[in-house]
Each structure stands twice: as structure tokens, then as C-alpha cells.
Amino acid sequence: MKTMKRFVIYAVAACMAGGSFVACTPEEEDLFAQSSAERLNAVVPRYTDLLCGAPNGWAMEYFVNNDWEPGYVYLMKFNKDTSVKIAGDNVWIGGKYTESTSVFEVITDDGPVLTFNTYNPIFHVFATPDDITGNGAPSDINESGYGHRGDYEFVIEKADDNLVTLKGKKWGLTILLRRLADDVDWEEYMADLRDVKSRLFNAKAPEVVLTVGKKRFVMDNASSGSISFYPENGDALTETTKVPYIVTSDGIRLVKPFKGIDGKDGFAVQTFVMNESGLVCTDAGQSASITSYAPARWLADQKKSWIVDATDLGGVFGTAYAEFAAKIKTKYKSLKNMTLMYDSKHDNAFSFNWNTSKYTGNRYGEVQVDDDNIVRFEFSGEGDDNGNLMYNDVPAIGAFLDLLQAGPFKAEYIQPLDASCIKFTSMDNAEDYFLVTLK
């Protein structure tokens, strides 16, 4: 008994000694009114209401976990009955606008999770482990056994009425849901994305340039949907970083911020919008742009050939081409095309070339392009045998050459990031012009 009494006295004394600082209670007061499980359960209906509260749905910017494949846009309309209508337009679902309805749910896991928990053929195609071939897939992709390596369940990281930020539960990529305006037509939205894509990069002129401060990086093969970055004047074999991107309604967004080849350059650029000269970065605190190399670069490339666009010639060039085509057809039955090119068999001479159903003719000369993309043509009066014969038979050939020599011309791209089409406009009269496209 004495021992027990002494223990009680000591215990009470200990509490009294610290009483002026800490209350002596058997457990700490809970800082939250609800448990973590209760709080998590409470956000489920809130996020469900948020998703269903967009009358015209959301645009999902969806990426898969590989470095050769672009991002894909899906349109989604969530409904209170847990149905979700999904629309897409990409090569893996037939290359045309397609809709399919399935089921979604917001559930609790390690956090709130948006899950598409019944199979949707146009969406789950990226999450299945099936072997994939074609459409740019590397030849050894089937060895991985992962298919596209895409997600169908997403942790909801943050959300408001206009933007929901998701993270793929398996692969960890950031996926965005952007609220669609109520008056947007879904098929037109997808068509507009195709239009934006058509005004971006072209496989025939694959190199554009990213400028970040004083740093410049070549962006190669961008038309594939996955950009190969390497430093300008660097080694493309050993210094390349591949970064997929998605085409948005006003530009592109990279799957993750590009921070240079080694990540030590002090910048991080990810989101770009189109302007009159290319693409400009809109990320906070970043100053960067994506532009084409000047036309002079491609016109001086002796491996490239340029076909005169017979459908778009202005002023004297429209008249002269019509005369040229008519006379060639009368004499030689047809005219396939007219080309500006280099002929390596004649000391890399610049050549004015034309093709009929049976004959090809060339007249040789040179092209000069200065740093301001002012172009001058000069022809030597020489050609190959067919060219000389046809030149003498059809005076309209000489008339067209005379117009080219009369120059000079301003060379400009029709679309700022598409170097495959160049417009030559007379410096004397803007009504006189012709277009060429990469062969």
C-alpha cells in the first residue's frame, strides 16, 4: 500500500510541476473536426459535382509514358448518372472524330481518384498492354510488353471551375482537364486542333529553333509529336533530349518542362502559344520563343528541290505561267511541274527544271540570297540538251526565266513554322509573286 500511495503522489506532483506550461491530459486534442478518412470522403461528391457541372464538358490533355508518342486531346462530358461521353480523333482510333460512352467514378484511395472503370474502346486503348505497331511506333516496342503505357486512373491534385490537374496513378504524368466553353461544338473543336497542327511543323523541313535567352536549341523531327532537342552547333547524336508535346487550341504544351540538355541552364519552358513569328512561351518567369530558320537556309540547301505552285501565282507570274503551260502542252502534250533545284551533275548549278510526260528540261544559273532573305536569280543561257531544245521551241520558257531574273524578290514563309512553302514577292510590285513547295 505504501508503495502504491507513493507512486500516486509522485505522479500528481509531476503533473503539478508542469502545470504552468502544459495541461496534463491523457491525449492531445484533434486539430481537425473530422478524421482524414472523413475529409477524403467529403471531397468525393465535391469533385463529382465539379466534373458534372461543366455543361459542355472538358478537354483532357492526355500523355502516355514514352518518348516517341505525342499527347492526345480527348473531350469528356461527365454526367450525374456516372456515364461519361468521350470523343477523340487520333491515329490509334481510326484517324477520325469518334465518340464512345462508358462509366466514371471519383473514389478514395491514397487521395481522391478519377477512374474510368469500364472499358472505353477509344480511351482505354492507351492503357492496355497489347502489342502496338505502326504510326511511328519503334520497331522494338513490342519487346517491352507495356503497350502505350497510358493511365486510366488519375489522382486529383487540385481543381477549380476551369482547370483540373490530374496525375496518372500508374505512370505519374501530369494530365490536365480544361473546361470547354458552353457554345463549343466538339467536332469543330477537334477540326480546329487539326488546323493548328497544320500550321506548325512540317516533316519536309524538320528543323526549327528554340531560343531561351542566349541559349539556342535545334528542335528536330517536331512534326512527329516528339521533339528532339539538341544545342545549336552541338552533337545531335550525343546531346539529344526527346520531349513529346500536345497540340492545344492556341499552341503546344510539352509533357514536362524542358530545362536544357543537363537541366543546369536555369530555365524551364513548357507552354507555348502561336503568334505572327512562331511560338512564344507563356510560362511565368520564362522568356523563350520557337521560330523557323530563315528561308535562306533552305534555299541554299543543294539537296532540296522546290516545285512552283501552279495554283497560286500573282500578277505577271500568273499570266506567264499560264502561257508557259499552254505552250508546253501544245508542243509536248503535258506539263507535270516546274521546279527550282540544284543539279549536282553540272557543278551544283541552280536549275530551272520542267517535266512533261516524256521529257525533262533544265536551264542553269544561280540563286543568291542575302541575310534579309532578298533573292536574286540569274541564268547563264546554258542548259541540258532537252532544255536547250525546248527553250528554243517554246519562247514562253524564256519569258518566265526573264521574269525570274528581273527580281529581286522577298522570300517569306506562308506559315511562320512551316518552312516547306516559300512565297517570292517582287520587290517592285507586291502583286507579282509565286509560291514554291518542297518536293
Q: Is 326 left (phi over 0), alpha (psi -120 to 50) or beta?
A: alpha
Choose one of 169, 195, 221: the last residue of a domain.
195
**In the predicted structure, residue 263 carries a pLDDT above the cut 90:** no
**What is the arithmetic mean of pLDDT over 244-255?**
96
- Count helices and strands (H / E) in the chain: 7, 25
* Residues 301 and 433 reside in one and the same domain: yes
Give mean pLDDT, residues 107-116: 92
Q: Are residues 382 and 432 in the same domain?
A: yes
Distance CA 244, CA 267 (A): 18
Looking at the structure of the chain, the number of domains it has is: 3
Q: Where are the alpha helices (DSSP H) in 333-384?
A: none
Q: Say whether pLDDT at 126 is over 60.
A: yes
50 and 112 housed in the same domain: yes
pLDDT score at 33:
53
Assess whether 122 and 226 both reside in one domain: no
Q: What average pLDDT score do residues 295-310 get?
A: 89
Pair (386, 303) in one structural domain: yes
Tell me what pLDDT residue 14 has: 36
Q: Could you tell me if 279 and 317 lie in one domain? A: no
Residues 362 and 281 in one domain: no
Domain that holds residue 83: 46-195
Has residue 17 been placed in a domain? Answer: no
Q: Is residue 41 part of a domain?
A: no
Same domain, 257 and 380: no
pLDDT in tens, 15-25: 334 444 444 44
Residues 268 and 232 in one domain: yes
User: In this structure, are 110 and 218 located in the same domain?
Assistant: no
Cα gap 150→147, rounded to integer Å: 8
Determine the pLDDT at residue 104. Answer: 98
Q: Residue 182: is its pLDDT beyond 90?
A: yes
Please say whether the beta carbons of 312 and 344 come within 8 A.
Answer: no
Altogether, the residues listed in the chain come to a count of 439
**Position 5 confidence tier, pLDDT thresholds 50, 70, 90:** very low
For residue 36, the model assigns a pLDDT of 57
Taking residues 71-87, report their average pLDDT: 98
Residue 179: per-residue pLDDT? 98
C-alpha cell at 144: 517491352
**Predicted structure pTM score:** 0.83
Read off the pLDDT of residues 271-285 as tens digits, 9 standing for 90 and up.
Answer: 999 999 999 999 999
Instruction: Identify the pLDDT of residue 142.
Output: 62
Question: What is the CATH classification number for the domain harbouring 130?
Answer: 2.40.128
Which cell goes with 181? 466553353
